């Protein structure tokens, strides 16, 4: 068997890819937790090496040891990056992601020194080597609070952008005003508007550096006002992000409520250990794997079959007139045509609410209104990996016609509350993932 055949087998060994994926991308197994701890340790040590190299005295004494350490760190992070590409379901998506780019950049500086050499390009190479510091951003992978912070910053980006534009306009206006007040004084540093804008920025964000100071009474009064204004303005973005973080924390608690009291020992988590995994089929609408699992009591199940699906969404949509938006379509597996809620699949990288809003618009032409996550469900927790996100949308309006795909054939129906309840009681809804949010809706709103 030649090298090419071995390489082909290695690149298409789905069982090996799955085992590596569980270790690198997940932390539910002992091996995964050990890898995470080792990765955090290597990240912190590599950052300490970068810091130590920047200290002249330390670099002169321990330079050779630091260089050897950098070789080891570079080898480790290179191997980690290549393994992530190897086992990732979508290598291209990982490579273009934020952490994929950070992983790549963290391996490049040492290789750049090999290419360009230490002489002419030494200063440039040293600049490139500072990129290694950005390995610290990978720590957010292991911090739930870090993910919440990043999500809050992203969710608040529009508000922060508007705030930044407001501050930009403010400093330009204040700088221009100061130029009008101080610009005619002899020997003044306020001799042009750019200098005045610089003074406005440092005074608004701190209390000024003292390199440019006004001399007229009006100018000093304006400086005092700008300093006090700075204390007021600096609290605005903090409040925006804090409010978003609180909302995200509350949403998380609603989705994953925890017991207030200490849990019974019989209710503690008893996870199974995945010893081996092999994909049997990978198709757009069907991905199945066979796991070998070990139970907490030591029992080993050699063949446990799992179906991997993308997350699903469905929408309980209600118009301003109190009409419920339903669809009616044929389901081939049952050979029946039934009433259903609008539902669909989350596309790759798509947030559940965005998917739900898209599906409602495409299938029914309705949009707008107020949306809230109603409940989350599992179709079959023993063998299916995905989650169904059920949304309640009130006050929706018809804004367009249907935008159906060639494989879709469904009709839209508006029904009253009374009729919907009757349909539910008669068993017209066969989808359990749809009856659950419907029964919750009626139970909380006293349908009878």
Question: Largest alpha-carbon pair distance within the chain?
Answer: 91
DSSP summary character for residue 333: T
Instruction: Give the mean pLDDT of the chain.
Output: 80
- In which band, very low, low, confident or very high, does the pLDDT at 327 lie, cut at 50, 70 and 90? very high
Q: How far apart are CA 129 and CA 191, in angstroms?
A: 41
Structure confidence at residue 250 (pLDDT): 64
Nearest CA-CA partner of 22 in 277, 363, 258, 194: 277
Return the minimum-mean-pLDDT range out of 9-23, 261-275, 357-371. Answer: 261-275
Return the minimum-mean-pLDDT range out of 57-66, 100-109, 148-157, 221-230. Answer: 148-157
Q: Is the model more confident about 38 or about 250? A: 38
Nearest CA-CA partner of 75 in 64, 63, 67: 67
Return the minimum-mean-pLDDT range out of 108-122, 221-235, 293-307, 322-336. Answer: 108-122
Q: Which ranges in the chain are annotated with CATH 3.90.79.10?
A: 311-444
- The answer to whether residue 203 scores a pLDDT higher than 50 is yes
For 279-347, the DSSP string reads EEEEETTEEEEEEEEE-TTS-EEEEEEEEE---EEEEEEEETTS-EEEEEEEETTTTEEEEE-EEEEPP
pLDDT (mean) for 374-388? 89
Q: Which CATH number fits domain 157-236: 3.40.50.300, 2.60.40.1930, 1.10.287.70, 1.10.3210.10?
A: 1.10.287.70
Backbone φ and ψ for 406, nearest 5 degrees, come out as: -60, -25
Q: Which ranges in the chain are annotated with CATH 1.10.287.70?
A: 157-236
Topology classification of domain 3-142: 1.20.120
Structure confidence at residue 166 (pLDDT): 82
pLDDT (mean) for 16-35? 77
Q: Is the model more confident about 131 or about 311? A: 311
- In which band, very low, low, confident or very high, does the pLDDT at 125 lie, cut at 50, 70 and 90? very low
Structure confidence at residue 359 (pLDDT): 92
Q: How far apart are CA 396 and CA 247, in angstroms?
A: 24
- The answer to whether residue 325 scores a pLDDT higher than 90 is yes
Count CB neighbours of 84 within 10 A: 19
Q: Which CATH superfamily is domain 311-444 in?
A: Nucleoside Triphosphate Pyrophosphohydrolase (3.90.79.10)
Structure confidence at residue 123 (pLDDT): 43
- In which band, very low, low, confident or very high, does the pLDDT at 447 lie, cut at 50, 70 and 90? very low
- The answer to whether residue 297 scores a pLDDT higher than 90 is no
pLDDT (mean) for 229-240? 73
Between the ranges 100-104, 224-228, 441-445, where is the mean pLDDT highest?
A: 224-228
Q: Which ranges in the chain are annotated with CATH 1.20.120.350?
A: 3-142
- In which band, very low, low, confident or very high, does the pLDDT at 120 lie, cut at 50, 70 and 90? very low
pLDDT (mean) for 226-248? 72
Structure confidence at residue 143 (pLDDT): 57
Return the minimum-mean-pLDDT range out of 158-167, 194-203, 397-406. Answer: 158-167
């Amino acid at each position: 068997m030649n090298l090419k055949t071995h390489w082909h087998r290695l690149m298409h060994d789905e069982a090996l890819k799955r085992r590596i994926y569980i270790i690198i991308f997940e932390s539910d197994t002992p091996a995964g937790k050990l890898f995470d701890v080792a990765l955090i340790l290597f990240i912190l040590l590599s950052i300490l090496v970068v810091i130590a190299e920047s200290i002249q005295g330390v670099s002169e004494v321990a330079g050779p040891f630091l260089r050897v350490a950098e070789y080891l760190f570079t080898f480790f992070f290179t191997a980690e990056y290549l393994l992530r590409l190897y086992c990732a379901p979508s290598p291209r998506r990982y490579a273009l992601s934020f952490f994929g780019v950070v992983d790549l950049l963290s391996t490049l500086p040492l290789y750049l020194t090999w290419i360009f050499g230490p002489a002419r390009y030494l200063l440039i190479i040293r600049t490139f080597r500072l990129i290694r510091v950005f390995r610290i951003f990978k720590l957010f992978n292991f911090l739930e609070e870090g993910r919440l912070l990043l999500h809050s910053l992203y969710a608040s980006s529009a508000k922060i952008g508007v705030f930044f534009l407001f501050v930009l306009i403010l400093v330009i206006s204040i700088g221009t005003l100061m130029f009008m007040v101080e610009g005619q004084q002899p020997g003044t540093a306020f001799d042009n508007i750019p200098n005045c804008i610089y003074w406005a920025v440092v005074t608004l964000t701190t209390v000024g550096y003292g390199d440019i100071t006004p001399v007229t009474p009006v100018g000093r009064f304006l400086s005092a006002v700008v300093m006090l204004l700075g204390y007021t303005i600096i609290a605005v973005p903090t409040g925006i992000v804090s409010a978003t973080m609180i909302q995200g924390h509350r949403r998380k608690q609603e989705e994953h409520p925890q017991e207030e009291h200490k849990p019974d020992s019989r209710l503690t988590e008893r996870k199974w250990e995945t010893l081996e995994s092999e994909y049997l089929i990978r198709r757009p609408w069907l991905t199945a794997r066979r796991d070998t699992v070990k139970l907490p009591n030591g029992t080993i199940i050699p063949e446990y079959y799992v179906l991997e699906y993308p997350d699903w969404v469905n929408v309980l949509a209600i118009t301003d007139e109190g009409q419920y938006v339903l669809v009616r379509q044929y389901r081939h597996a049952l050979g029946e045509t039934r009433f259903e809620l609008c539902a669909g699949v989350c596309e790759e990288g798509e947030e559940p609410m965005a998917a739900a809003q898209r599906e409602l618009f495409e299938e029914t032409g309705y949009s707008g209104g107020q949306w809230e996550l109603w409940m989350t469900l599992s179709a079959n927790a023993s063998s299916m990996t995905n989650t169904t996100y059920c949304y309640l949308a009130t006050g929706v309006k018809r804004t367009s016609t249907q935008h159906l795909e060639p494989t879709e054939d469904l009709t839209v129906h508006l029904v009253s509350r009374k009729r919907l309840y009757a349909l539910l009681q008669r068993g017209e809804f066969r989808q359990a993932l749809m009856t659950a949010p419907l029964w919750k809706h009626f139970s909380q709103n006293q349908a009878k």
